[in-house]
Amino acid sequence: MKRCTSCKKGVLKPVVIEQLFRAHTCSSCGGNWILVEDYLTWKRKNPEYQFSDNIAVLNEIVAEDTKKAILCPVTGMIMQKLKITAASEHRLDYSPTVGGIWLDKGEWELLRAEGLAASLNSLVTHEWQKKVRDTRAQETFSEVYRSRFGEELYDKVKEIREWLHSQEKKADILAYLTAEDPYSAER
């Protein structure tokens, strides 16, 4: 049996998560090692299965999150840390070489509560991670503008921007607005 990649105390024992798909759970810390291949095999055999995402109130879920880098239990290489959503600070540990995901104790329940259990395989894709980064960047810029303009002015500026982008003569309108004196022939 392999030692736990996270706590290094327990051993990884074969289990079936919620009687659905194969995984390995640490006998000490309760983390789970899941091969995406096993998850997808189960998913292909059960295409109609719907996760009930309301297993717990999200605020009541205690999901640990390993902050330090951890090693893949198969290859011994450092796993990637991947965010699950832009709003969540939780990160999954992913080994792209073997297609394995490490879930700390409580993270499976967190994924269920967030409505992401049916998308476990998608969370590790470049597209998903790009979407998470893009969403976070939009939120950050929105916070910056809100701080600079204040809430009321920011809402007004967004409204004007939306209107401007719907206009056919947007370039002419922008030229008019940005000209020091739009009624002068001088530049």
Q: How far apart are CA 74 and CA 184, in angstroms?
A: 72
**pLDDT in the model for residue 87:** 87
Helices (H), ranges, the chain: 36-45, 107-113, 126-149, 151-165, 170-178
Identify whether the C-beta of residue 114 lies closer than 8 Å to the C-beta of residue 58: yes
Domain residue extents for the chain:
12-121, 131-178
What is the reported pTM?
Answer: 0.76
**pLDDT in the model for residue 15:** 95
pLDDT tens digit at each of 187 positions of the chain = 688 989 999 999 999 998 899 999 999 999 999 999 999 999 999 888 887 755 555 555 567 777 789 999 999 999 999 999 998 888 999 999 999 999 999 899 889 888 898 899 999 999 999 999 999 999 999 999 999 999 999 999 999 999 999 999 999 999 999 988 988 877 6
